[in-house]
Amino acid sequence: MSTGGEDSNGQELLRNIEDARRNVLDEGRPEAVAKQHKYGKYTARERITKLCDADSFHEFGSLVEPLRDTGFNKDLDAPADGIIIGSGLIDGRPAAILSHDYTVLGGSTGRHGSYKANRGITKATDDGVPLVALLEGGGHRIQDGQDSRHFASGSPIFQYLARNSGWVPQAMAMLGQGFAGPTNYAALADFVVMVRGQATMGMAGPALVKAGLGEDIDKEALGGAKMQTNRYGISDLAVDTEDEALAAVQRFLSYLPANAQQSLPITATDDPVGRAEEELLEIIPANPRKSYDVRRIIELISDKDSVFEKKPSYARNIVTSFACLNGRPVGFVANQTRHLAGMLDVKACEKASHFIGLCDAFGLPLVMLIDLPGFAIGSEGEKSGLGRRSGRLFFEMGQATVPRVSIVLRKGYGGGYYAMGGGRAYDNNASLAWPTAEICAMSVEGSVDVAYRRDYEAAEDPAARRQEIIDLFKSQLGAVRAAEAFGIDEVIDPRQTRRILCDTFDRCPPRRPSKLPPHIRAVSPI
C-alpha cells in the first residue's frame, strides 16, 4: 500500500504539470486571446476545436519551450514554440493536425517548433491518415534563422510533405498572414482554402519586397485571397469566414480515403440510380456558337447536393469537381463553354492535370465531359508555353489507372479532344457521346478555309461553293458517324447518363492493371 506522503508527492507533481500546461492553453493567456479575437480571428486551439469532433483532439508537445541559445533568442517567450500538433477525428475519421499560433511571435517557426511540425507531418505518414494544416505565420523565426548553427542544416519539412503526396490527403487552410514558408507548404498540398480580407500568401511579404526590390505594394495586391485564388491558382477556394474555411476542409476530406491503400468512402443515398432528368435533352443549344453552363449538367447527373468544385474561380474554361454517383466519390473534368468556348489554355491544362493526378492517387473514377474547339492556338498560346504545358494533361491521362468515362457533349475538336480523353485516345472504360456530338480534327469553317480556299474562290459563286463544302463536311461529323467506325462505344440518351455512369463504375474494378513498362518513375513534362 502506498503511503500518504507518496500520494501527496505524486499529486503535487501532477499539479505542477497541469499548471505549466494551463499557462500554454488559451485560458492561461487571456491577453493573447483577446488580441486575436480583436481582429476577428480564432486562436490556433479554437480552430482545432471547431475542425475536429468534440473532445477528440490529443495534443503532442504542449510543454515545448523555444530554443534560447543566442543573444537574439535568450529571452523569448514562446509557449509551445508557436506550433500546435496532434491527432483528432474529423467526421469520425482520424487525422493529423498542425496549427500555427499567431499569438506567439507572429506565428513564426522556431527550431523546436520545426521539430514539432516535422513530427506532425510524419505522424500522418506513419499512421496513413490525412494531414490538415491551419496556417497563419511568417515562416522561419528570424531570431533563430539568423544563426548558421540553426539554418545551415535546412529543414526536411518539404521532403516530408513530398513523401506524403499521393499517400495521404493534405489539406491546408490559410487563415491569416502566410508569406514565405506557409506558402511553400500550401504549394505542396492537395487542397488550399483562404479567408478573404484576412489570409495572404506569397514568397515574401510587403516589407521584404520593399527592402529587397524597393517595390511598394500592399499585402492584398501582393498575395491576398482574390489574387491567389482567381489569378494565380495556388488557392483552390476563397471564403468569407474561418468557419467556412474549416467546413471546406471537412468537405474536401469527405470525398477521399484516409490513404491511397484504403477504399473510397461510400455514403448512403436515396437518390435513384435511374433518375432521368428531362432538362438534359434541351441543355445543349441548337446553335453551336451558343454557350451553356456545364456545371448544371454535372449537378443533374450527380447525387443530389454532392457536387464540390475545386478551383471554381481559376481557369474558368474548365471545371474540376468532386461529386458522388450512387454514393461513390468521382471526379468530373468538364470544358466550360461560357469561358473561352471551353478551349484549353495553359491554366486550364494545369488545373485539369493536377485534379486528374489527385483523383488517380486516391482512387476516384474520372468522368470527362467534352465540348471544346481545341487548344488555345496563336502567338499568346505559344508565348505561354502551351505546347509544353499541354503535355502535362496528356501525361496525367496516360498515367492514370482509375476507371474513366469520356462523354462528348458537343464539340470534340483537334488535339484537345485527345487531351480530354475522347474516343480511343486512352483506355477508357466507356467512350460515349450525346446525339449533339460533333467530332473532327478542327472547326469545319476553319478546315474549309485552309484546305479548299482555292476551290471555292475559283467558283462562279465563291460563297455558295464554300457553304456547299461546309455542309458536306458537317454531314460527316455527327455522333452516329463516330459510332459507325467504332471510334466511340455508344451514342446515349442524355437522360440516361447518370444510370450509365453508375452502372459502369459498379461493374469495373477500382483500378486497372498497370500497362507501364518496368521503371522507377515517369518524368512529367512540367
Look up the pTM and report it. Answer: 0.93
**Gap between the Cα atoms of 435 and 437, Å rounded:** 5
The 10 Å Cβ neighbour count of residue 476 is 10
**Gap between the Cα atoms of 345 and 524, Å rounded:** 18
Sign of CA dihedral 255, 260, 265, 266: positive
Q: For position 113, what pLDDT does the model report?
A: 81
Q: Does domain 41-254 have CATH number 3.30.70.3270?
A: no
Q: What is the mean pLDDT of each run of 10 residues along the chain (526 residues)?
A: 59 84 84 91 95 96 77 74 93 97 83 87 97 88 70 86 96 93 92 96 86 88 93 96 98 98 96 97 93 98 98 98 98 97 96 98 98 91 90 95 97 95 95 96 86 91 92 89 94 98 97 86 88
Cβ(412)–Cβ(424) below 8 Å: no
| 254 three-state secondary structure | helix
pLDDT tens per residue across span 80-127: 888 999 999 999 999 999 999 998 887 777 778 888 989 999 999 999
Q: Dihedral of the CA atoms 233, 234, 238, 242 (nearest 10)?
A: 180
What Cα–Cα distance (Å) separates residue 97 from each residue in 57, 89, 139, 483? Answer: 9, 10, 18, 51
Sign of CA dihedral 486, 488, 490, 494: negative
Alpha helical stretches, state H, 318-384: 346-362, 379-383
Residue spans of the domains in the chain: they are 41-254, 279-437+478-506, 442-476
Q: Can you give the length of the chain in residues?
A: 526
Q: For position 138, what pLDDT does the model report?
A: 67
The 10 Å Cβ neighbour count of residue 217 is 14
Which CATH fold topology does 279-437+478-506 show? Answer: 2-enoyl-CoA Hydratase; Chain A, domain 1 (3.90.226)
Residue with cell 492556338: 377
